[in-house]
Homo-oligomer: A and B are copies of this chain.
Amino acid sequence: MSAKKASTAAAAPAFITPDALLAHWQGHRGLTRRVIDAFPDDQLYTFSLGGLRTFGEMANELLAIASPMVQGLVTGDWEEYSPQGVDSKQALLELWDESTGEIADFWSQLPADGFAKTVTAFGQFTGPVHWQILYAIDNEIHHRGQGYVYLRALGIAPPAFYER
């Protein structure tokens, strides 16, 4: 068996590499930041539809998942899930930017061969590392989509979904 054949057999095929997935996530985070910023200060933590939370409260949830998730995956130390009581656009955007930097820092410490490993996040959610991270991203997209409806209902054109 040649080295090339051994290589094909040994390595799991990649749908996407860790670096490309981080870039994909950061693109989403940039879009979510623009959606937060598109809300008027006095509507971000007050306006909602259908009895759902305000978009500000949803963003507080996203903050409590994203960076703590990647930090927990690197260190194995998990804090309990606990959103902070942020209630202003300025404070939210500052924490958002801080989180984005933390995610990049911790991401570089994730072992490249560890994404299929099963772990328990926040002491309660068990699944492969890639599943944990996709959950954080998918949950961000899900709530941001709800933010788009809020913005439209407020008469505000949201940023383009396809621009990252």
Q: In the assembled complex, how far is the CB of residue A13 from the closest CB belonging to chain B, in whole angstroms? A: 4
Are B13 and A112 closer than 8 Å at their CB atoms? yes
A4 touches B14 (CB 8 A): no
A6's closest neighbor in chain B, by CB?
B3
Copies of this chain: 2
Residues of B within 8 A of A112 (CB): 13
Q: Tell me the count of chain A residues lying within 8 A, CB to CB, of chain B.
A: 50
Quick one: given A50-B149, A144-B145, A148-B146, are A15 and B139 in contact (CB under 8 Å)? Answer: no
Cβ of A75 under 8 Å from chain B: no
**Partner-binding segment picked from A81-89, A98-106, A127-135:** A127-135
CB distance from A164 to the nearest CB of B (A): 10
* Of the residues B3, B21, B145, contact of A146 by C-beta under 8 Å: B145
Q: Which residues of A contact B (CB under 8 A)?
A: 1, 3-4, 6-8, 10-18, 20-21, 24, 28, 49-52, 112-113, 115-116, 128, 130-131, 133-135, 138-139, 141-146, 148-154, 161-162
